[in-house]
Amino acid sequence: MTQPIFMVGARGAGKTTVGNALARALGYQFTDTDVFMQQTTGLSVADVVAREGWVGFRRRESDALKAVTAPHTVVATGGGAVLAAENRAFMRDAGRVIYLRAPATTLAHRLEEYPLDAQRPTLTGKPINEEMVEVLAAREALYQEVAHHVLDATASPAEIVAAIQRVLQTEPIK
């Protein structure tokens, strides 16, 4: 397989952590749309949102997704990349899409431990647990729709990488 692999899921699901480890295991390149945008603009997510609003950030995110996509590459996407139908169609068409799925409580716990506020400014202004419940309610159907494979993101990163390697050897069922 040479196709790019796209990691999708909410903030804290482990797209960056697991995506990086998966790339190492496969001998693939690793790239992250949030990091790509930070490097190309010199601005954090919070800065871009302050200057251009979420609409501007989402436009840049769609451009970044296309720019980083290449064969033999694991792409960690931003948590909201699935919001645009254009991005969902692009990822399904270009490669394999992996949804790292975890409950809101797990995500909120991880984000509390390691907030990284500049890269993860609040989406709703609400406390993080409430925010993650809301975000998942709004996006779960989109993550499911775009994914070729859904993985349990509460396992350890090593276990998730092994599980992804197994599903990549199967034909996508969706």
Ligand X SMILES: Nc1ncnc2c1ncn2[C@@H]1O[C@H](COP(=O)(O)OP(=O)(O)OP(=O)(O)O)[C@@H](O)[C@H]1O
Ligand Y SMILES: O=C(O)C1=C[C@@H](O)[C@@H](O)[C@H](O)C1
**Known binding residues for ATP:** 12-17, 120
The amino acid that residue 2 corresponds to is T
Provide the annotated binding site.
12-17, 32, 34, 58, 79, 120, 139
Residue (of 104, 97, 77, 72) closest to 148 by Cα position: 97
Please pick, from the candidates 96, 101, 110, 120, the single residue that binds ligand Y as defined by CB under 6 A.
120
3 state SS of 127: coil
- For CA atoms 126, 130, 132, 136, the dihedral sign is negative
Q: Which residue among 16, 33, 73, 87 contacts Mg ion (CB under 5 A)? A: 16
Q: Between 35 and 168, whose beta carbon lies closer to ligand Y?
A: 35
20 scored as a contact of Mg ion (CB under 5 A): no
- Taking a C-beta distance cutoff of 8 angstroms, is the pair 59, 49 a contact? no
- Interaction site with ligand X (CB under 6 A): 9, 11-18, 34, 76, 78-79, 110, 114, 120, 153, 156-157, 160
